[in-house]
């Protein structure tokens, strides 16, 4: 996905897209649905372009606590600076700053949007914040039913202390 620089005047410009995951090389992702909604805000401040992106995508996932499948809409934000000021690039080691040739006609934002999409997927996916997960002993889904495990046998070494209570 490329943005033409010739049409951008100084100031803020907003673009909205709906793209297929194949555009970002993610067409075989096992959980994400095929389309991603993208909003890109580009602020031109010579000699740089500040790009802020918002991606929204839906998918079908398995809960990390109870393994139940659920659908969820994810959103992620990214920020990147494209600059032709070499001094700025040398001062910063940040990954969010990319060199832009002074005679560049367009900016390829595909890799940055791909990163934003992938970073929108949380490390731990839960069907709900209240999900209690599965019992490690009997496998019962604790959000739906009670544990079926037998109570552990009492430890007789503590019997004398229990009599004091």
The full set of domain ranges for the chain reads 2-131, 132-165
The sign of the torsion formed by the CA atoms of 19, 23, 27, 29 equals negative
In 11-154, alpha helices (H): 86-91, 110-119
41-97 confidence digits (pLDDT tens) = 999 988 889 999 999 999 999 999 999 999 999 999 999 999 888 777 666 666 788
117-131 confidence digits (pLDDT tens) = 999 999 999 999 999
Q: Is the CB of residue 23 less than 8 Å from the CB of residue 2?
A: no
1-42 confidence digits (pLDDT tens) = 888 888 888 899 999 999 999 999 999 888 999 999 999 999
83-124 confidence digits (pLDDT tens) = 888 777 666 666 788 888 888 899 999 999 999 999 999 999
């Amino acid at each position: 996905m490329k943005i033409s620089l010739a049409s951008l005047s100084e100031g803020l410009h907003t673009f909205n897209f709906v793209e297929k995951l194949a555009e970002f090389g993610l067409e075989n992702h096992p959980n994400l649905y095929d389309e991603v909604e993208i909003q890109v805000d580009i602020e031109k401040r010579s000699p740089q372009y500040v790009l802020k992106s918002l991606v929204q995508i839906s998918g079908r996932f398995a809960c990390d606590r109870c393994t139940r499948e659920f659908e969820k809409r994810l959103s992620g934000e990214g920020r990147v600076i494209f600059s032709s000021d070499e001094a700025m690039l040398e001062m910063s080691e940040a990954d969010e700053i990319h060199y832009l040739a002074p005679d560049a006609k367009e900016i390829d934002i595909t890799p940055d949007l791909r990163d934003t999409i992938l970073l929108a997927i949380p490390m731990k996916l839960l069907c709900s914040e209240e999900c209690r997960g599965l019992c490690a002993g009997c496998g019962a889904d604790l959000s739906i039913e009670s544990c079926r495990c037998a109570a552990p046998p009492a430890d007789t070494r503590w019997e004398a202390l229990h009599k004091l209570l």
